């Protein structure tokens, strides 16, 4: 995949970011939250009471899969094409077969970009002008936003639910939007799905944290370590569900702040709200090695979330 939105800086990044924000559902968040809440209620309602269930394939995976395309403004046929390739797209290109699948996914999306008006670069003007992405550029932007957003959101939600349901009387801590938001932010800080940021190249010789960096050197930021910086957080290695302020960097910062922030917060709030109302006695042990293992080297999150659901409460 060529360099896309995540990897660019300066005017090129601003141009692509403007197009991305224009295309996403950022301007229609109330409708998106309503859709996410209704879907979450449907999925939670289908869970078997008084049983143990793996919430990754039954709840978290379907919730993310059926909302991210809507959030990005993708038509259903494109969403289906990307979903078919999404798990492959985050794997390292270790062999020709994987490279071929990734290439085919990009070709399929490019065909839709060219054929469907709603998938063409959203800003008017000559291709490549300020504020508009060229069709091939837009293909890469959509691929990055879909694949990175899908996987990182699913991994975070799995981490959040696995951790929250392991706490005593957890449902009481999910009663208000503010409490749910603080809980979400603390798990983003404490155990976020993205361990490191993208790389950057030093423009000049400089010194960073007493380390000499030469012009042209690659610099990779560790988000996990930054989020446990003792100069920025009290008790940085401890989990504090009510932590405030919480200026974590899991979403990045400034011009590169993640465009999918509303997606993550919206789905996390829907999950905690619905589970706490219907299954307030649900619990996880969190001590299954399979639950702690990450999926790959790019994102990390539990592969399973085994929950003893307990009785379902009437809604």
The answer to whether residue 2 sits within a structural domain is no
What is the number of residues in the chain?
A: 315
The answer to whether residue 224 sits within a structural domain is yes
The answer to whether residue 44 sits within a structural domain is yes
The total domain count for the chain is 1
The answer to whether residue 171 sits within a structural domain is yes
The answer to whether residue 92 sits within a structural domain is yes
CA 89 vs CA 108, 144, 219: distances in Å:
13, 9, 24
Looking at the chain, list the stretches that DSSP marks H as alpha helix, in order from N- to C-terminal side.
Answer: 10-23, 29-45, 55, 61-72, 76-89, 96-115, 135-164, 177-191, 223-226, 261-278, 289-292
Q: Six-digit token pair at 9?
A: 């800086």
Instruction: Residue 270: give the domain boundaries.
Output: 10-308
The answer to whether residue 122 sits within a structural domain is yes
The answer to whether residue 48 sits within a structural domain is yes
The answer to whether residue 315 sits within a structural domain is no
> For every one of its 315 residues, what pLDDT tens digit does the chain have, with 9 covering 90 and above?
445 666 677 777 777 777 777 666 545 678 888 899 999 999 999 999 999 999 999 999 999 999 988 888 777 777 777 787 777 666 666 778 878 877 777 777 667 666 666 565 555 344 444 446 666 677 777 777 888 889 899 999 999 999 999 999 999 999 999 999 999 999 999 999 987 777 778 889 999 888 999 999 988 888 888 999 999 999 999 999 999 999 999 998 887 788 889 999 999 999 999 999 999 999 997 666 656 555 555 688 898 999 999 999 987
CATH of the domain at 68: 1.10.630.10
């Amino acid at each position: 995949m060529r360099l896309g939105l995540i990897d660019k800086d300066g005017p090129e990044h601003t141009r692509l970011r403007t197009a991305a924000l224009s295309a996403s559902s950022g301007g229609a968040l109330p409708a998106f939250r309503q859709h996410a809440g209704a879907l979450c209620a449907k999925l939670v309602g289908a869970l078997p009471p008084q049983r143990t269930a793996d919430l990754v394939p039954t709840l978290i995976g379907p919730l993310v899969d059926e909302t991210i395309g809507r959030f990005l403004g993708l038509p259903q046929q494109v969403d289906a094409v990307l979903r078919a390739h999404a798990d492959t797209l985050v794997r390292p290109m270790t062999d020709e077969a994987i490279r071929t699948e990734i290439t085919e996914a990009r070709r399929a999306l490019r065909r839709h970009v060219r054929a469907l008006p709603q998938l063409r670069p959203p800003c008017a003007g000559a291709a490549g002008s300020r504020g508009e992405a060229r069709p091939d550029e837009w293909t890469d932007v959509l691929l990055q936003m879909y694949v990175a957003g899908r996987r990182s959101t699913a991994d975070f939600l799995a981490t959040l639910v696995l951790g929250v349901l392991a706490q005593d009387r957890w449902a009481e801590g999910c009663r208000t939007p503010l409490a749910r938001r603080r809980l979400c932010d603390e798990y983003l800080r404490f155990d976020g799905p993205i361990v490191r940021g993208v790389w950057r190249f030093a423009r000049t010789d400089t010194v960073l944290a007493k380390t000499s960096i030469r012009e042209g050197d690659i610099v990779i930021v560790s988000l996990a370590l930054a989020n446990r910086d003792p100069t920025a957080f009290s008790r940085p290695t401890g989990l504090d569900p009510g932590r405030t302020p919480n200026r974590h960097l899991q979403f990045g910062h400034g011009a590169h702040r993640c465009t999918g922030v509303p997606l993550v917060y919206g789905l996390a709030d829907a999950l905690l709200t619905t589970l706490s109302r219907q299954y307030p006695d649900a619990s996880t042990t969190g001590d299954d090695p399979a639950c702690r293992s990450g999926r790959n080297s790019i994102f990390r999150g539990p592969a399973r979330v085994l929950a003893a659901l307990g009785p379902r409460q009437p809604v």
